[in-house]
A = this chain, B = another copy of it.
Amino acid sequence: MARYRSGIATRERILDATRLLLGRDGFDGTTVKGICQEARIQPGSFYNLFPSKDEAVLTVVREAITAVDPHPEGEGSDTIDELIHAYIRFITESPLAGVYLQLAVTAGLTDEHLKGRMLRHHHYRIHRFADAIGRDEPTMTRERARILAELVIAGLNGLAYQWALDPTFELMDHAWELADQLQIPRVTPQS
């Protein structure tokens, strides 16, 4: 959509503003008006570059997830440790983690399109975790690795939700405890 320098720069400013406000005020607290004020533009400019508020939000959240991905392009080479680490880092370090969790939960109730997106991402994550587990423990059946992956991810999501409610919660300790207790095969010990 953005072809000229100015448009590209404005797009960046909008994404910066969206990132800032989402992290500070959450999804509901972030308004198009607020984004426009922060980016010092008018609403018309926003809608010239983004079809909707949701699209800007999703762009920012997607970027935040990719930012902690150990191997953003080619899957098939990450270990389960790396994946768990990436998840923990995303939750604890990214101000957008809460928004991600909120979107994931509310998506199922409201927007059918958003629901599809979140579900696809979820299945992709399971796939990658299962592959990593399978690589670390080649004797394990595919099915078993997939179930373990589902349990780990569910556990991590649950811990993340708990952390969102209570920031003093020791997310990292619990995450590795979870991995140990589920007997996830790991190549390197926890750092």
A interface, CB within 8 angstroms of B: 26-29, 98-99, 101-102, 104-110, 115, 118-119, 122, 147-148, 150-151, 153-159, 161-162, 164-166, 174, 177-178, 181-183
- This chain: how many copies in the complex? 2
Instruction: Contact check, A164 vs B108: say whether CB atoms are below 8 A apart.
Output: yes
Instruction: Contact check, A109 vs B158: say whether CB atoms are below 8 A apart.
Output: no
Instruction: Contact check, A165 vs B106: say whether CB atoms are below 8 A apart.
Output: no
Q: Which 8 A-B pairs have the closest CB atoms?
A: A154-B158, A158-B158, A26-B109, A157-B158, A155-B155, A108-B164, A154-B159, A108-B165
Nearest Cβ on chain B to A5's Cβ, whole angstroms: 36
Q: Which residues of B contact A151 (CB under 8 A)?
A: 155, 174, 177-178, 181
With the chains together, A11 CA to B169 CA distance in Å?
A: 38
**CB nearest neighbor in B for A173:** B147
**CB nearest neighbor in B for A98:** B109
Instruction: Contact check, B110 vs A106: say whether CB atoms are below 8 A apart.
Output: no
Nearest Cβ on chain B to A115's Cβ, whole angstroms: 7
Question: What would be 15 A-B contacts, judged by CB atoms less than 8 Å apart?
Answer: A28-B106, A28-B109, A28-B110, A29-B109, A98-B105, A98-B108, A98-B109, A104-B161, A104-B165, A119-B165, A147-B177, A150-B174, A154-B161, A154-B162, A156-B158
